[in-house]
Amino acid sequence: MKSRLMDRLLLPARVHAVEQWGPRLRRVTLTGPALAGLTWQPGQHVRLQVAAAPAAVDWLVGTLRTYSVWDYRDQSMELIVFDHGEGPGAQWARTARPGDEVMLLKPQGTFVPDATAAYHLFAGEETAQVSYGPMLRALPDSATVFARLEVDSAGERVDLVPDDRPGTPPTWDLAWSHRDGGSAASSQSLVEAVRALTLPDEPGVAYLAGEARTIQLVRRHLVEERGWPRRSIRTKPFWTPGRKGLD
Protein backbone atom coordinates (compact mmCIF):
# COMPACT_ATOMS: atom_id res chain seq x y z
CA MET A 1 0.00 0.00 0.00
CA LYS A 2 2.83 2.38 0.91
CA SER A 3 4.65 2.02 -2.41
CA ARG A 4 1.44 2.34 -4.45
CA LEU A 5 0.48 5.56 -2.65
CA MET A 6 4.01 6.95 -3.07
CA ASP A 7 3.81 6.30 -6.80
CA ARG A 8 0.63 8.38 -6.96
CA LEU A 9 2.13 11.25 -4.97
CA LEU A 10 5.70 11.48 -6.22
CA LEU A 11 7.14 11.84 -9.71
CA PRO A 12 10.42 10.13 -10.64
CA ALA A 13 13.19 12.12 -12.32
CA ARG A 14 16.95 12.07 -12.78
CA VAL A 15 19.61 14.65 -12.17
CA HIS A 16 20.77 15.70 -15.63
CA ALA A 17 23.32 18.37 -14.73
CA VAL A 18 24.73 20.24 -11.73
CA GLU A 19 26.37 23.64 -12.20
CA GLN A 20 28.01 25.94 -9.70
CA TRP A 21 26.38 29.38 -10.05
CA GLY A 22 28.11 31.12 -7.18
CA PRO A 23 29.91 30.47 -3.89
CA ARG A 24 26.78 28.87 -2.42
CA LEU A 25 24.47 28.51 -5.42
CA ARG A 26 24.02 25.36 -7.53
CA ARG A 27 21.75 24.93 -10.51
CA VAL A 28 20.36 21.40 -10.62
CA THR A 29 18.60 20.29 -13.81
CA LEU A 30 16.13 17.40 -13.50
CA THR A 31 14.79 15.47 -16.48
CA GLY A 32 12.46 12.58 -17.15
CA PRO A 33 9.24 11.61 -18.95
CA ALA A 34 7.22 11.96 -15.73
CA LEU A 35 7.94 15.71 -15.83
CA ALA A 36 6.15 16.15 -19.16
CA GLY A 37 2.90 18.13 -19.23
CA LEU A 38 3.11 19.63 -15.75
CA THR A 39 1.29 22.84 -14.93
CA TRP A 40 3.71 25.44 -13.56
CA GLN A 41 3.32 29.13 -12.80
CA PRO A 42 6.44 31.27 -12.30
CA GLY A 43 7.10 31.57 -8.58
CA GLN A 44 5.76 28.12 -7.71
CA HIS A 45 7.85 25.46 -5.98
CA VAL A 46 8.27 21.71 -5.85
CA ARG A 47 8.77 19.42 -2.86
CA LEU A 48 11.78 17.18 -3.44
CA GLN A 49 12.65 13.97 -1.59
CA VAL A 50 16.21 14.65 -0.44
CA ALA A 51 16.70 11.76 2.01
CA ALA A 52 15.03 8.95 3.86
CA ALA A 53 13.56 9.79 7.24
CA PRO A 54 13.27 7.98 10.58
CA ALA A 55 10.38 5.52 10.66
CA ALA A 56 8.22 7.78 12.82
CA VAL A 57 8.83 10.92 10.76
CA ASP A 58 7.65 11.47 7.19
CA TRP A 59 7.35 7.68 6.94
CA LEU A 60 5.46 7.82 3.67
CA VAL A 61 7.53 10.11 1.45
CA GLY A 62 10.84 10.55 3.29
CA THR A 63 12.45 13.89 4.01
CA LEU A 64 11.08 16.59 1.69
CA ARG A 65 12.50 20.02 1.03
CA THR A 66 10.93 22.90 -0.89
CA TYR A 67 12.66 24.47 -3.91
CA SER A 68 11.42 27.23 -6.18
CA VAL A 69 11.45 26.27 -9.85
CA TRP A 70 13.84 28.47 -11.83
CA ASP A 71 12.59 27.18 -15.18
CA TYR A 72 10.45 24.39 -16.58
CA ARG A 73 10.22 23.13 -20.16
CA ASP A 74 8.38 19.94 -21.00
CA GLN A 75 10.56 17.16 -19.52
CA SER A 76 13.19 19.43 -17.96
CA MET A 77 13.08 21.37 -14.67
CA GLU A 78 15.75 23.69 -13.28
CA LEU A 79 16.24 24.36 -9.57
CA ILE A 80 18.76 26.77 -8.05
CA VAL A 81 19.65 25.56 -4.57
CA PHE A 82 21.25 27.79 -1.96
CA ASP A 83 23.72 25.99 0.32
CA HIS A 84 23.53 27.53 3.78
CA GLY A 85 23.99 24.78 6.31
CA GLU A 86 24.25 21.10 7.13
CA GLY A 87 20.58 20.22 6.75
CA PRO A 88 19.43 17.39 4.48
CA GLY A 89 18.46 19.78 1.67
CA ALA A 90 21.86 21.46 1.59
CA GLN A 91 23.62 18.11 1.77
CA TRP A 92 21.57 16.77 -1.13
CA ALA A 93 22.43 19.72 -3.37
CA ARG A 94 26.10 19.48 -2.40
CA THR A 95 26.36 15.80 -3.33
CA ALA A 96 23.90 15.54 -6.25
CA ARG A 97 25.47 14.11 -9.41
CA PRO A 98 24.20 13.48 -12.97
CA GLY A 99 22.34 10.19 -13.09
CA ASP A 100 21.03 10.34 -9.53
CA GLU A 101 17.39 9.35 -9.20
CA VAL A 102 15.04 11.68 -7.34
CA MET A 103 11.36 11.88 -6.47
CA LEU A 104 9.31 15.06 -6.28
CA LEU A 105 5.79 16.42 -5.98
CA LYS A 106 4.15 18.46 -8.74
CA PRO A 107 4.62 22.26 -8.78
CA GLN A 108 2.40 24.06 -6.31
CA GLY A 109 1.95 27.36 -4.47
CA THR A 110 0.23 30.74 -4.76
CA PHE A 111 3.37 32.91 -4.60
CA VAL A 112 2.98 34.02 -8.22
CA PRO A 113 2.72 37.39 -10.02
CA ASP A 114 -0.58 39.25 -9.86
CA ALA A 115 -1.41 40.40 -13.39
CA THR A 116 -3.86 43.00 -12.03
CA ALA A 117 -1.31 44.79 -9.81
CA ALA A 118 -0.78 48.51 -10.38
CA TYR A 119 2.92 47.81 -9.85
CA HIS A 120 5.13 45.12 -8.35
CA LEU A 121 7.51 45.34 -5.39
CA PHE A 122 10.07 42.59 -4.74
CA ALA A 123 12.31 42.43 -1.65
CA GLY A 124 14.50 39.63 -0.31
CA GLU A 125 17.96 38.13 -0.02
CA GLU A 126 19.91 35.40 -1.85
CA THR A 127 17.28 32.70 -1.58
CA ALA A 128 14.51 34.98 -2.85
CA GLN A 129 16.22 35.47 -6.21
CA VAL A 130 15.22 31.99 -7.38
CA SER A 131 11.52 32.83 -7.12
CA TYR A 132 11.90 36.35 -8.45
CA GLY A 133 13.73 35.43 -11.65
CA PRO A 134 10.86 33.48 -13.24
CA MET A 135 8.28 35.90 -11.84
CA LEU A 136 10.04 38.81 -13.53
CA ARG A 137 10.34 36.85 -16.78
CA ALA A 138 6.55 36.49 -16.74
CA LEU A 139 5.94 40.24 -16.49
CA PRO A 140 5.60 42.43 -19.61
CA ASP A 141 8.11 45.20 -20.32
CA SER A 142 5.32 47.68 -19.62
CA ALA A 143 4.95 46.56 -16.00
CA THR A 144 6.20 48.89 -13.28
CA VAL A 145 8.64 46.99 -11.07
CA PHE A 146 10.63 47.88 -7.96
CA ALA A 147 13.08 45.34 -6.53
CA ARG A 148 15.54 45.55 -3.68
CA LEU A 149 17.75 42.50 -3.23
CA GLU A 150 20.41 41.96 -0.61
CA VAL A 151 23.22 39.41 -1.05
CA ASP A 152 26.38 38.75 0.89
CA SER A 153 28.69 39.42 -2.04
CA ALA A 154 28.54 40.13 -5.76
CA GLY A 155 29.24 36.46 -6.50
CA GLU A 156 25.85 35.46 -5.10
CA ARG A 157 23.88 37.81 -7.29
CA VAL A 158 21.68 36.10 -9.89
CA ASP A 159 20.81 37.91 -13.13
CA LEU A 160 17.06 38.36 -12.91
CA VAL A 161 16.61 40.15 -16.24
CA PRO A 162 15.38 37.64 -18.86
CA ASP A 163 17.95 36.56 -21.42
CA ASP A 164 15.73 37.50 -24.36
CA ARG A 165 15.49 41.13 -23.25
CA PRO A 166 18.22 43.53 -24.40
CA GLY A 167 18.30 45.15 -20.96
CA THR A 168 16.23 46.10 -17.96
CA PRO A 169 12.93 47.66 -19.10
CA PRO A 170 12.79 51.40 -18.35
CA THR A 171 9.93 50.96 -15.88
CA TRP A 172 11.91 48.46 -13.82
CA ASP A 173 13.94 49.67 -10.83
CA LEU A 174 16.17 46.76 -9.73
CA ALA A 175 19.03 47.20 -7.27
CA TRP A 176 21.25 44.93 -5.16
CA SER A 177 23.17 45.69 -1.97
CA HIS A 178 25.90 43.66 -0.23
CA ARG A 179 26.02 42.63 3.42
CA ASP A 180 29.77 41.80 3.31
CA GLY A 181 29.56 39.16 5.99
CA GLY A 182 26.60 40.57 7.89
CA SER A 183 23.66 38.39 8.88
CA ALA A 184 20.76 37.93 6.49
CA ALA A 185 18.43 37.32 9.45
CA SER A 186 16.38 40.29 10.68
CA SER A 187 18.13 42.48 8.12
CA GLN A 188 17.51 46.12 8.94
CA SER A 189 19.56 47.15 5.92
CA LEU A 190 17.06 45.51 3.56
CA VAL A 191 14.20 47.25 5.36
CA GLU A 192 16.02 50.56 4.93
CA ALA A 193 16.51 49.88 1.21
CA VAL A 194 12.74 49.39 0.84
CA ARG A 195 11.99 52.39 3.05
CA ALA A 196 14.15 54.59 0.79
CA LEU A 197 12.09 53.72 -2.30
CA THR A 198 9.85 56.38 -3.76
CA LEU A 199 6.71 54.40 -4.53
CA PRO A 200 3.39 55.50 -6.05
CA ASP A 201 0.81 56.73 -3.55
CA GLU A 202 -1.48 53.75 -4.02
CA PRO A 203 -0.34 50.26 -2.97
CA GLY A 204 0.79 47.76 -5.57
CA VAL A 205 1.50 44.11 -4.82
CA ALA A 206 4.57 43.19 -2.76
CA TYR A 207 6.36 39.85 -2.96
CA LEU A 208 8.54 39.18 0.08
CA ALA A 209 10.60 35.99 0.14
CA GLY A 210 13.64 34.65 1.98
CA GLU A 211 14.48 34.83 5.68
CA ALA A 212 11.31 34.81 7.78
CA ARG A 213 12.22 37.53 10.29
CA THR A 214 13.31 39.95 7.58
CA ILE A 215 10.05 39.33 5.75
CA GLN A 216 8.17 40.29 8.91
CA LEU A 217 10.16 43.53 9.21
CA VAL A 218 9.54 44.56 5.60
CA ARG A 219 5.85 43.70 5.85
CA ARG A 220 5.56 45.74 9.05
CA HIS A 221 7.12 48.72 7.27
CA LEU A 222 4.66 48.47 4.38
CA VAL A 223 1.61 48.08 6.62
CA GLU A 224 2.45 50.46 9.45
CA GLU A 225 4.47 53.15 7.67
CA ARG A 226 3.02 53.12 4.17
CA GLY A 227 -0.52 52.03 4.98
CA TRP A 228 -0.60 49.01 2.69
CA PRO A 229 -3.40 46.49 3.26
CA ARG A 230 -2.10 43.07 4.24
CA ARG A 231 -3.88 41.49 1.29
CA SER A 232 -1.50 43.38 -1.02
CA ILE A 233 1.54 41.63 0.49
CA ARG A 234 2.48 38.07 -0.48
CA THR A 235 5.10 36.29 1.61
CA LYS A 236 7.20 33.17 1.17
CA PRO A 237 9.54 32.38 4.10
CA PHE A 238 12.30 29.98 3.04
CA TRP A 239 14.40 29.81 6.19
CA THR A 240 15.16 31.28 9.58
CA PRO A 241 17.91 30.49 12.13
CA GLY A 242 17.15 27.59 14.41
CA ARG A 243 14.19 26.22 12.51
CA LYS A 244 14.44 22.86 10.77
CA GLY A 245 12.75 22.03 7.50
CA LEU A 246 13.37 25.38 5.77
CA ASP A 247 16.81 24.68 4.31
Residue 82: what pLDDT? Answer: 87
pLDDT exceeds 70 at position 247? no
pLDDT exceeds 50 at position 245? no
- pLDDT-derived band of residue 53, with 50, 70 and 90 as boundaries? low
Q: What percent of the chain has pLDDT over 90?
A: 71
> What pLDDT, in 10s, does the model give residues 58-115?
556 678 899 999 999 999 999 999 887 777 888 898 999 999 999 999 999 999 999 9
> What pLDDT, in 10s, does the model give residues 99-152?
999 999 999 999 999 999 999 999 999 999 999 999 999 999 999 999 999 999
> Model pTM greater than 0.85?
yes
- For 2-104, CATH gives 2.40.30.10
> What pLDDT, in 10s, does the model give residues 186-230?
999 999 999 999 999 999 999 999 999 999 999 999 999 999 999
Residue 139: what pLDDT? Answer: 94
User: Domain spanning 120-239: which CATH class is it, in words?
Assistant: alpha beta
Domain with CATH 2.40.30.10 in the chain: 2-104
Domain with CATH 3.40.50.80 in the chain: 120-239
> What pLDDT, in 10s, does the model give residues 148-159?
999 999 999 998
The pLDDT of 12-26, averaged and rounded, is 93
Residue 39: what pLDDT? Answer: 96
Q: Confirm if 74 and 19 have CB atoms less than 8 A apart.
A: no
Instruction: Tell me the one-letter amino acid at 92.
Output: W
pLDDT exceeds 80 at position 165? no
Residue 211: what pLDDT? Answer: 95
